Structure 1
């Protein structure tokens, strides 16, 4: 299929965005073949509102009988786009924060075979970061670090950015029913993409904040996010280094942890025993404890370096297309 035959779709999760969504739809250019508005049981009746006030023939309303969360809404949009034969699926929010004029920026790297999934990065333009609320700036920095560990995409930033695009063939291989259905959705997507070795890149964009009201309360999701990051990190390490493949890094991590923990426990135990006895810890004892700690740290750093170098770079959808008869 040539680039001119590629069909681009846009998915808009719709929940309490009736004030902005018509303007968002009107701003979507002619390069988009289909627009899926997913009404996630919106109390404002977003689906009916769009159906009654929008005459754009590209718009398709997808309705949920019960509220399932933004992740589930996006998955419903993905399913509808795949069923209709779309090639690239862009996800934008309906609250007016995301400029539909940037759609080509997200789609082009996928059409060129440079990426399977693209996502926005509001931190690229340093002069614009000052417009971001300080709490959100700090939260994104912390979440970005945790996401690098749990997803394996060390070169990405701004993990909660919801402006994304994905090749439909790659989306078809994702476990839709397992992906987080609510606010952890964007981060969980990156973890799932890494497990299938999809190439992901950041797309620079401005941070825009208007009169919209966020439904996300940082204080309520900090603990939940941390636990899910730990879960995904453990799964990713097991999948990539022990279940699907074995490498020198598969030995470096457990051996490094064993030496680091063993040396630390031995050193602490000897120090406590010496303190109770009122005698200084011998130099030999210190060296015996320090040596495995240093070796353990070196092995763990070597594992991290290997993990960073192992970030997927080749577009999966290109390989999948070549395998088709």
Structure 2
């Protein structure tokens, strides 16, 4: 099995080195790592060049959706069997990667999401973010019939079928909840496993209170519209 860790990074110079060190300390050379540097203005790219990782320096800022889709295109073009999405800010502990990929290896799911809300341990995010997460969890449950406790989690693993789908189409802004609807509409199995997340090592989230309102409105409409589309052949 060829396994790729996809790390989107925008101005993560204060965090990316620790993230790469943590992955390497656990898995050594068992996993390939790809960092998509989303036109950072800091030293993110220079730091990554000191490590044995694949690096794509985007010439312009595509945002999280475009950066992640770039990673899935790389995974598809290089024939990876499993892709793992992991943030570069230190919130996702790579010790849980094995738990994410095991259900895929057993054929139990095509997408496995690391959820902080199964055991409710560790960093639980801000009150505003938790409200939004509960909202999207309920909306997706109504539309799909499946409860996803952490629909905004960017800590996830997927199989070859999902790699192909995501490489062709991936939501642009705040993509995780919409991508869940996309996969459920195409009858792919999704499951969650418990993880413990950490606060950001350095820096602040790009999602402000004002952006949260835009986020909830835009993604809600996108999810409802996606529900009405046909399956991908």
Please report the TM-score for the alignment, with normalisation by the length of structure 2: 0.88
Matched, 1:171 2:163: yes
**Alpha-carbon deviations, 1:212-260, whole Å to 9, x = none?**
31111232242443243234324414537xxx9xxxxxxxxxxxxxxxx
Shift of 1:147: 3.2
The answer (yes or no) to whether the contact 2:124–2:130 under 8 Å persists in 1 is no
* Mapping of residues 236-251 of structure 1, within 5 Å: 236-237=227-228, 239=230
Distance change (3 Å), C-alpha of 1:168 and 1:131: closer
Shift of 1:130: 7.8
Q: Which is further off, 25-34 or 158-167?
A: 25-34
The answer (yes or no) to whether the contact 2:72–2:166 under 8 Å persists in 1 is no
SS in 1 for 2:61: coil
Q: Relative contact order, CA 8 A, sep 6+: which one is greater?
A: 2
The answer (yes or no) to whether the contact 1:87–1:168 under 8 Å persists in 2 is yes
Whole-Å separation in 2 of the counterparts to 1:23 and 1:74: 20
Unaligned runs of 5+ in 1: 1-5, 245-325
Matched, 1:226 2:217: yes
Matched, 1:133 2:126: yes
Look up the match of 2:136. Answer: 143
**Alpha-carbon deviations, 1:25-53, whole Å to 9, x = none?**
122213643100001101114223311x3
Look up the match of 2:3. Answer: 8
* Mapping of residues 43-82 of structure 1, within 5 Å: 43-51=41-49, 53-54=50-51, 56=52, 59-82=53-76
Look up the match of 2:150. Answer: 158
Whole-Å separation in 1 of the counterparts to 2:162 and 2:11: 30
SS in 1 for 2:87: coil
Whole-Å separation in 1 of the counterparts to 2:222 and 2:126: 29
Matched, 1:105 2:126: no
Shift of 1:143: 2.5
Shift of 1:164: 0.6
Distance change (3 Å), C-alpha of 1:32 and 1:191: farther
Please report the TM-score for the alignment, with normalisation by the length of structure 1: 0.64
Shift of 1:155: 2.0
Distance change (3 Å), C-alpha of 1:174 and 1:24: closer
The answer (yes or no) to whether the contact 1:20–1:95 under 8 Å persists in 2 is yes
* Mapping of residues 85-96 of structure 1, within 5 Å: 85-96=79-90
Superposition CA RMSD, Å: 2.4
- Work out the number of aligned pairs and report it: 229
**Alpha-carbon deviations, 1:158-191, whole Å to 9, x = none?**
1111101111233213463x422222x1112112
* Mapping of residues 240-319 of structure 1, within 5 Å: none
SS in 1 for 2:55: strand
